[in-house]
Structure 1
Amino acid sequence: MQLQVNNSPFSQEQAELLNRLLPTITEAQQIWLSGYLAAPKQETVDPALQNTPGTEVSSQNDGQTATREVTVLFGSETGNGQMLAEGLSEKLVAQGLKVATSAMDDFKPKGLKKVEDLLIVTATHGEGDPPDNALSFNEFLNSRKAPKLDGLRFSVLSLGDQSYEFFCQTGKDLDKRLEELGGERLYPRVDCDLDFDEPAAEWMEGVLESLRETQKTGSADEETPLTELLEAGAGIKQSAYSRTNPFKAEILDNWKLNGRGSNKETRHLELSLEGSNLEFEPGDSLGVFPENNPELVEQIIDVMNWNPEEIVPASKKGDSKTLRDALHYHFEITILTKPLLKQAALLFENEALIELLEPERDDELKAYLDGRDVLDLIQDYPPQEVSASEFVQILRKIPARLYSISSSFKANPDEVHLTIGTVRYEAHGRDRTGVFSGQCAERTEPGEMLPIYIHRNPNFKFPADQQAPVIMIGPGTGVAPFRSFLEEREELGAEGKTWLFFGEQHFASDFLYQVEWQNWLKEGVLSKLDVAFSRDTAEKVYVQHRMLEKSREFYQWLEKGASVYVCGDEQSMANDVHNTLTTIIEQEGAMTKEEAEVYLTEMRHQKRYQRDVY
């Protein structure tokens, strides 16, 4: 039985969450939940509803009331920040604290003066920028309107990637600004690289300990491990497999989508989910743990004259592997970062490397890091008598690669499909490939197994209302989530209007999934399709040009409530599309540029403008 908004006190979003959650819970969970909700003098919200912006959650134990309220705000691009923030909120509630949790941009900034304890979890996007759902909050905090925050206690958990120059910059900036406004650190900021589980858990425990020292919190319930909190998703049946325990999926098929004469190599990969109990929704991603190229591994071992069968530490937990296996499966060897070079300088005792890290040579260092790997490092700056065990301890764990899922779970419940562009380039005298895209193109055959997990992306979710119009902009492999979405709409028989903008180089060789789009057009699953093939005309034409050509109709769709989804390259395409959206709204809506930006900001707040860019 489906819960309807018109016969309940719940909002549309809350009803949708409940309708996804309730069929999945066990009888024991139902009994526990009924008792939890029936507890006297206790204002509670089901944890499944914590995604609702501005949700307040409180828990009281033994009649004790927390004297201060904790506000948890998150800025999240791919969903990690949100999952961590929600996991933290559950821990805080278990301690008997009153908690309010929301995305930064869903929080009313004028209420900041009233906040007592503020905990922020934020990612950094692009070149040191805030995530999309944290832009307005950051702008307010750095404006003259920002209030004095004397009496505020705060702590920041920052997520990032050390291979980027502005590592964890958003978290660093927020931490500094809150202090400038008069806030007092409840616990020091922690900056996390891609392998964030351990430092995030340490930060949470540090925050909880600081709160315990200053607040009366009653007896804590038994805490849920962080990894379980991270994998919990409202309405999603839980699987035993996760990022920390990936499922070994069999490769069912792997073929090249491009035709003859193409300059590109785009692979379509199909994996079996049979026996995994994994589920996903359109907009979610698949995490894949890749393997390094065995040729690169052997070259590193040969240059260093190491024994490939030597047993070396493979993790901080004490796991050990042969050197060959550790470099092949466990450690990042294809990217150089500044922190890695600093550690290498201490270990290698190479004077030239030490000099490269001098502050006045920072531009030279940035240039060196670009496009080089561990083999380049040991050849350019040979270490002095370094053992394999010492060396691997300065390497970071190889991170999973995330790919937008290009199939529908409802249409293909035992499979998951990926659309992967193979990265090939020449740099510093050597031919190179992307880690997993190269593995997929050159060393992956049907019947082999890949370690995978489902990565929820709550910031790229399609409308629950099947009648709502949707505009999708996805050049190249950015079209993947839209294939998932339309495949699901076909399965469900949805009738809402849909409009796809797709772009690639050549019509004849690069029109990815051409037959499927054309069939969906005939069936009415896809209402409109506009394409741009940049190399088929004398003057290059991209998706943003097609948008401008249809600007009047595009704006009419917006005015009728259409949601806009953008997926693909951030550095050029996503910015060009954003600027084009602003231009269309400005011209067709007779607005100033500032008014058009406000229009887009409001769409983002309404979840009608979402991006999955990389």
Structure 2
Amino acid sequence: MNLQLVPDSAPFSAEQRAWLNGFLSGVLGGLDPKLPGGSEVQHSTGTAIEAKEQNPSPTNSSESVSSYPWHDSSLSITERMRLAQEQPTERKLMAAMAQLNCGSCGYLCKSYAEAIANGSEKNLTLCSPGGAATAKMLRKLVKESSAPASNLATSGARNSGPHVDANAEQEMGTRANPVSAELISSDRLNGRGSLKDTRHVVIHLPDSGLRYQVGDALGVYPTNCTELVDRFLIASRLALDANAVVNGKCVGLKDELQHRCLRTIPMEIVEAAVTLIKERPKRNGQVRADANIVAELQAFSESDQFDDLDCVEFMELFPSIPWTPQIVIDCLQPIAPRLYSIASSQSRYPREVHLTVSRVESMIRDRTRKGVASTMLADRLMPGSHVKIFVHKSHGFTIPLDPKAPMIMVGPGTGIAPFIAFLQQREVDQALGKNWLFFGDQTRENDFLYREQLSRWEENNVLSRLDLAFSRDTAEKIYVQHRIKENGAELFEWLESGAYFFVCGDARRMALDVENTLLEVIALHGKLTPTQAQSYLKKLKESGRYVRDVY
């Protein structure tokens, strides 16, 4: 029986309080902590703490994370696939994921793989951290197996969008049932001389009872810009005023395309193109020409171009396909929501939610490519405009329950977002625990995000230490991991005194470099062997004192 150790007044949801009561009861009573519903918490590698999925699928009681040796984000995809080569299809699919459990796809790595294998999820491009390499491997595995996703049809079933929890459909402000919220402002944080455009975005919360905790993420449903939609329609030779049927309703094609993913090419659209070419009436001499087009389409689907081009380029590459509005809409997935770490405390801003958003734009093959959500928030939405949002809960990535516990936070660039929220909450709570922030970016003059706020927190002793790393201000590039190493002795003392170590940001480089540096610090100042340092870090993970929000 669980003890009631966390009061109802504590700033947690009912589910979080239930988990915490169960966990603390287990620790105090020598029992295995349980999640609501009886599924065990898997702490063996710390990945359950890192996940941002609202309702992850319970892990089979006969399995643990250690059953999946490929579930390590530091391994290459080649190595992960080697470790899973004798496993069933759903585990091979899991090994192809980025192994971050970041939740950006709406699943954990394991549950996304299982959804593909059982046919409930047909989109093979949701793992954004894994990028083209993951998508290509998933297609290969699906093609080689009898997984239902290999027999997809353009039946309109794709209109349902990405995975959602059935229980969440009755709630407001969930992935399945987002709320419409008003944009208050989108202010640039960088100086005029910066190469970056980072925005502090403020959104007004509607009267819907939407609640969030520090450490949660905000899901934002973006829309395509008009220029991209128009170019797609011209390339596909479809009329600007054409209509299609979506969920039994007649909609304008142009309006619907604003909500459809054009960034990646779905296999369904290639398969539909092949079918359309094969089935169209043949004129004299067209049989051979069409056979050549079919061969080119099939070769294209196996080439690197498939992962490199977007839907506009695909339409321009194969201009003779006789598209219809309905087939196009049935082939294209709804745009998946983008998740942003929340940069505010609701205790400080009861009717607002703040984000730190880096505007993404690049030039690829002489064409400007724009981040669909970041440019919407930075350019296209004016104050007073509305956007669909929901709260994506984070179980574990939040401030310590003990207000006296020290916190070490590593958040370069936009990775600083959740730590702005952490520090706001600790200021509101008048928490006595020390707070140490490592922040870095390109230049101090132009890229010192939240400079005034951080300086005020230093003056007020909310922020006990602030170590900065600006990579382009010195001849030799300096990053946050260098500052961690320079201050290794004191940092290890903080860990020994019970400090929590948080990391937010890029998983592929920064988070890995920070972890390797942390291991060096532990080994050096703890006088431990590399193996002992690994064990020390593992214990930090198991106790929830080494927590990452990486992507």
Q: TM-score range by the shorter chain?
A: 0.7 to 0.9
Report the equivalent of 1:128. 97
CA-to-partner distance for each residue in 1:548-569, whole Å, 9 max, x for gaps?
1101111111111111111111
| Secondary structure class of the residue paired with 2:387 | strand
Q: Distance in 1 between matches of 2:295 and 2:540?
A: 50
User: Of 478, 484, 489, which aligns to 2:421?
Assistant: 484
- Cα deviation, residue 311, structure 1: 2.0
- Cα deviation, residue 253, structure 1: 1.2
Q: Does 1:324 pair with 2:268?
A: no
Question: Structure 1: which 5+ residue stretches go unaligned?
Answer: 1-8, 26-44, 60-68, 90-98, 108-120, 134-154, 177-187, 202-225, 232-238
Q: Distance in 2 between matches of 1:250 and 1:228?
A: 26
Question: Where in structure 2 are the equivalents of 1:137-536 lying within 5 Å?
Answer: 156-157=114-115, 162=125, 164=131, 165-167=133-135, 226-229=165-168, 240-314=172-246, 317-328=247-258, 330-337=259-266, 341-342=270-271, 344-347=273-276, 351=292, 354-355=295-296, 357-358=298-299, 362=302, 365-370=303-308, 372-536=309-473
Q: Distance in 1 between matches of 2:483 and 2:65?
A: 33
Is the CA contact (8 Å cut-off) linking 2:410 and 2:502 kept in structure 1?
A: yes
User: Of 85, 102, 110, which aligns to 2:57?
Assistant: 85
Q: 1:380 to 1:127 in 2, by over 3 A?
A: same
Is the CA contact (8 Å cut-off) linking 1:423 and 1:434 kept in structure 2?
A: yes
- Cα deviation, residue 382, structure 1: 2.4
Report the equivalent of 1:66. none
Is the CA contact (8 Å cut-off) linking 2:159 and 2:334 kept in structure 1?
A: no
- Cα deviation, residue 436, structure 1: 0.8
- Cα deviation, residue 357, structure 1: 4.5
Q: Does 1:539 pair with 2:467?
A: no
Q: 1:24 to 1:456 in 2, by over 3 A?
A: closer
| Secondary structure class of the residue paired with 1:275 | coil
Q: Distance in 2 between matches of 1:125 and 1:486?
A: 36
Report the equivalent of 1:143. none
Is the CA contact (8 Å cut-off) linking 2:53 and 2:392 kept in structure 1?
A: no
Q: 1:554 to 1:434 in 2, by over 3 A?
A: same
| Secondary structure class of the residue paired with 2:187 | strand
Question: Structure 2: which 5+ residue stretches go unaligned?
Answer: 27-31, 69-89, 103-112, 153-157, 279-289
Instruction: Report which stretch shifted further, 264-273 or 374-383.
Output: 374-383
| Secondary structure class of the residue paired with 2:134 | coil
- Cα deviation, residue 343, structure 1: 5.0
Normalization by structure 2: what TM-score? 0.76
Q: Distance in 2 between matches of 1:550 and 1:541?
A: 14
Q: Distance in 2 between matches of 1:509 and 1:57?
A: 45
Q: Give, as a single letter, the amino acid of the residue that structure 2 aligns with 1:602.
A: K
CA-to-partner distance for each residue in 1:250-309, whole Å, 9 max, x for gaps?
111111111111100001110101412111111100000001011110111122232222
Q: Distance in 2 between matches of 1:489 and 1:21?
A: 12
Is the CA contact (8 Å cut-off) linking 2:50 and 2:101 kept in structure 1?
A: no
Q: Distance in 2 between matches of 1:465 and 1:553?
A: 21
Q: 1:378 to 1:190 in 2, by over 3 A?
A: closer
- Cα deviation, residue 439, structure 1: 1.3
Q: Give, as a single letter, the amino acid of the residue that structure 1 aligns with 2:5.
A: A
| Secondary structure class of the residue paired with 2:231 | helix
Which of 1 and 2 has higher RCO (CA within 8 Å, sep 6+)?
2
Normalization by structure 1: what TM-score? 0.69
Q: Distance in 2 between matches of 1:536 and 1:291?
A: 37
Q: Give, as a single letter, the amino acid of the residue that structure 2 aligns with 1:369.
A: D
Report the equivalent of 1:15. 5
Is the CA contact (8 Å cut-off) linking 1:190 and 1:199 kept in structure 2?
A: no
Q: Distance in 2 between matches of 1:21 and 1:366?
A: 49
Q: Distance in 1 between matches of 2:91 and 2:52?
A: 9
| Secondary structure class of the residue paired with 1:489 | helix
In angstroms, what is the RMSD of aligned CA positions?
A: 4.2
Q: Distance in 1 between matches of 2:215 and 2:322?
A: 49
Report the equivalent of 1:151. none
Q: Distance in 2 between matches of 1:22 and 1:505?
A: 36
- Cα deviation, residue 576, structure 1: 1.0
- Cα deviation, residue 130, structure 1: 3.2
Report the equivalent of 1:577. 514
Is the CA contact (8 Å cut-off) linking 1:501 and 1:529 kept in structure 2?
A: yes
CA-to-partner distance for each residue in 1:48-94, whole Å, 9 max, x for gaps?
867788445899xxxxxxxxx987979657646561426xx9xxxxx
- Cα deviation, residue 373, structure 1: 1.6
- Cα deviation, residue 598, structure 1: 2.0
Q: Give, as a single letter, the amino acid of the residue that structure 1 aligns with 2:245.
A: P
Q: 1:546 to 1:71 in 2, by over 3 A?
A: closer
Q: Distance in 1 between matches of 2:169 and 2:42?
A: 16
Is the CA contact (8 Å cut-off) linking 1:250 and 1:448 kept in structure 2?
A: yes
Q: Distance in 2 between matches of 1:168 and 1:21?
A: 43
- Cα deviation, residue 310, structure 1: 2.1
Q: 1:538 to 1:456 in 2, by over 3 A?
A: same
